[in-house]
Amino acid sequence: MEKSYNPKITEGKIYSLWEKSGFFNPDKLKGKGFAIVVPPPNITGMLHMGHALNLTCQDILIRKKRMQGFKTLWQVGTDHAGIATQNVVEKQLKKEGKTRFDLGKEELIKRIWQWKEKYGNIILNQFKKLGCSCDWSRARFTMDKDYKLAVKEAFLHYQKKGWIYQGERVVNWCKRCQTSLSDLEIEYKEEKGHLWYIKYKLKDKGHITIATTRPETLLGDTAIAVNPRDKRYKDLINKKAILPLVNKEISIIKDRLVDPKFGTGAVKVTPAHDLKDYEMGQKHKLETIQVIDEKGIITNKAPKKYQGLTTKEAREIIVKDLEKLNLIEKIEDYQVSIPKCYRCKSKIEYIPSKQWFLKMDKLAKLAEKPVKENEIVFYPKRWKRVYLDWLKNIRDWCISRQIWWGHEIPIKGSKDVLDTWFSSALWPFATLGWPKKTKEQKLYFPTQVLSTAPDIIHLWVTRMIFSSMELKRKIPFEKIYIHPTVLTKEGKRMSKSLGTGVNPMELIEKYGADSTRFGIIFQVTERQDIKFTEDNIVMGKKFCNKIWNASRFALMQIGKNKFKIKELNVKNKSKEDKKILSRLEKTVNGVNKDLDSFLFGKAAHRLYEFFWHDFCDQYIEYSKDKIQNSKTKEEKERTKKVLLYTLLNSLKTLHPFLPHITEEIYQKLPLKDKKELLLIESWPK
């Protein structure tokens, strides 16, 4: 062994060795099937810390199961990411002074495919840098020919059941991308704004004051709402107020959605331009008046004076007009959470739009049943309640998007494409060949584990569960591990734009993949998100050096003799031999228990303590004395065998966490009957 460990030399060499062996492909393995699907990253994506954590967790599980004798399929692939990908290509066109409309749909799609071929696999290559043992031969893409067939089959299935319909509803609308957006495609940015207190005159006498952050939307108000428990307004319920500037009567209604602590406790209701207001509007059968259009311009449904203005222009004039009429009671500074398109950063408008929807009443029950009955179990268990609570108030799913890149809705005359989440909801079984009947589905479906982030439980996890229950009549996976969020050391969300993001590729370049993996996983606890510091990666680097140096020293002590593995199980053990073997057994059993419960950080700490303190500090020091100073050859040989046995099984147990360095050392062990690779060695019993 070299005097010091160099991850830059070792990791690339070892990964190539694994790939050439073909053992990432379960077809070369024997045993019962075990499968995990990688949450498919966007083809526009780059590896971030959340990916690095999630992939490390999955790789640990896959490598352990592979060593336990399972046919392990780690299904990988990428998502076409409709809006994100089209936006990237449109930005390129903008530099050429063109828009997608200059190219036309066919030419734009051609350009996107060209972009995908050039850049779409960058993130998968970054997976490899991290050491992920995915089956690359089965990599899928959500716009593959066979995957398109699965998406069409699912759509037609729902359509035949009468669960797909077209209707008008208030949606998140990006005026730049000119499409509806899912909730996950929105970022909220805190900005300094104002809270305007506006007086609405009562029909009889007096007035009621409402507070709003968006005075321009009052042009579309159709009611004022108060909480039924708010005693201040009990005498005003069902009375009439006069809508300022529009001069029409609107009712004062009661609704529990109103927060009595916000502003005055009375709020304006604009069903066309607010999601909560739309809900109230539907419940109370209020008129929906659209005064803002798809481009953020005031429509002809508003008084003529404001028509044709942008929302920003309209706000300024409306506030001035209200002040002239003495209808502004006061204006307060207020921190406003502004919804923005996560790609183009344009401010989102809430507008009524004709879209395609999937009815959710029966599908929600399908999603609820297996989780309630513990056919599907969440880890940590607190996420079960979060999952079930959301399903209680689920709305019909808006599945259409007004872009060109994606799965076209298979209905004559529709120019829309399907929401990206519609196709990714089929991921656990469409990647295995559904709707065709395949041997992969028999062997690997349902999959065993899903590991994912908390922010896509409702957008992806829920949809995979009801899609699988409806289309396959089976659960898609047995266990769901929700990993922590990786935050800055101050406990805030990492942001690339603010410069607070950490690039795992830079950590890998600086410290190596194994150090990065171990440093991240070492911080995982069951209860808390991770406040990331580079100190832990430095610790991972030191631990790798310790493993290398200890292994090198142990092999020097053992010498050139080669042993058969069964010869390492010696008789007449010393007290110290028994102690290290007992600690080893306890460690292996503990790691098994930890990983079965998805306690990755606990398992990492357990391995660190055993290897550094029990093995290095105690047994290696003991063995050094015995091998060098023992008077009997038998005692020397016995100590060498226990030393080698402990090192071998330490490497096996460490391998899922630190795959490259353990594989490199394993290749140098003086064993006559070791396997071709540690990758396929048997897990310690």
pLDDT(605) > 90: yes
Domain count, the chain: 3
How far, in Å, CA of 679 to CA of 24, rounded? 9
**15 in any annotated domain:** no
Strands 207-212, 164-174: pairing kind: unpaired
What average pLDDT does this structure show over 144-164? Answer: 97
pLDDT digits 0-9 by tens, 93-147: 999 999 999 999 999 999 999 999 999 999 999 999 999 999 999 999 999 999 9
Residues 345 and 363 in one domain: no
pLDDT(317) > 90: yes
DSSP, residue by residue, 178-225? TEEE-GGGEEEEEEEEEEEEEEEEBSSSSEEEEEES-GGGGGG--EEE
**6 in any annotated domain:** no
pLDDT the model gives residue 184: 66
pLDDT(161) > 80: yes
pLDDT(497) > 80: no
Residues 535 and 576 in one domain: yes
pLDDT digits 0-9 by tens, 539-552: 999 999 999 999 99
Residues 207 and 147 in one domain: no
pLDDT digits 0-9 by tens, 324-377: 999 999 999 999 999 998 778 889 999 999 999 999 999 999 999 999 999 999
How far, in Å, CA of 7 to CA of 348, rounded? 46
pLDDT the model gives residue 470: 98
User: Amino acid letter at 283?
Assistant: K
CATH code (residue 207) = 3.90.740.10
495 secondary structure, DSSP code: -
Query: What percent of the chain clears pLDDT 70, i.e. is strictly above it?
Result: 100
Q: Two tokens at 51? A: 């990916």
Q: Residue 265 in contact with residue 230, Cβ under 8 Å?
A: yes
pLDDT digits 0-9 by tens, 455-485: 899 989 999 999 999 999 999 999 999 999 9
pLDDT digits 0-9 by tens, 424-455: 999 999 999 999 999 999 999 999 999 999 98
- The secondary element (H helix, E strand) that includes residue 447 is strand 447-452
Residues 145 and 252 in one domain: no
CA 230 vs CA 187, 197, 235, 237, 265: distances in Å:
33, 18, 10, 11, 8
What average pLDDT does this structure show over 189-201? Answer: 95
pLDDT the model gives residue 372: 97
SS3 label, residue 358: strand
pLDDT(394) > 90: no
Look-up of token digits 């569960």: 465
Q: Residue 623 in contact with residue 643, Cβ under 8 Å?
A: yes
**662 in any annotated domain:** yes
Residues 208 and 268 in one domain: yes
**647 in any annotated domain:** yes
Residues 515 and 662 in one domain: yes
Residues 665 and 517 in one domain: yes
**46 in any annotated domain:** yes
**1 in any annotated domain:** no
Residues 346 and 401 in one domain: no
pLDDT the model gives residue 494: 85
pLDDT the model gives residue 65: 98
pLDDT digits 0-9 by tens, 232-290: 999 999 999 999 999 999 999 999 999 999 999 999 999 999 999 999 999 999 999 99
Mean pLDDT for the chain overall = 94
φ, ψ dihedrals at 377, nearest 5°:
-115, 130
pLDDT the model gives residue 593: 97
Residues 193 and 88 in one domain: no
- The secondary element (H helix, E strand) that includes residue 312 is helix 311-324
What does the angle CA 677 – CA 666 – CA 584 come to, to the nearest 5 degrees?
110
Query: What residue numbers bound the domain in which 388 lies?
Result: 31-162+359-483
Q: Establish whether the linkage from the previous residue to 380 is cis, with ω within 30° of 0.
A: yes
pLDDT the model gives residue 491: 85
DSSP, residue by residue, 526-585? SSS-EE--THHHHHHHHHHHHHHHHHHHHHHHH-S--B-GGGGS-SS--HHHHHHHHHHH
CA 480 vs CA 134, 351, 538, 591: distances in Å:
19, 36, 31, 19
How far, in Å, CA of 427 to CA of 460, rounded? 10
φ, ψ dihedrals at 478, nearest 5°:
-95, -35
Residues 346 and 368 in one domain: no
Q: Is the pTM of this model over 0.85?
A: yes
pLDDT digits 0-9 by tens, 626-679: 988 888 889 999 999 999 999 999 999 999 999 999 999 999 999 999 999 999
Query: What percent of the chain clears pLDDT 90, i.e. is strictly above it?
Result: 85
pLDDT band at 182 (very low <50, low <70, confident <90, very high): confident
| 420 Cβ neighbours under 8 A, 6+ residues apart | 79, 80, 81, 82, 83, 142, 182, 401, 406
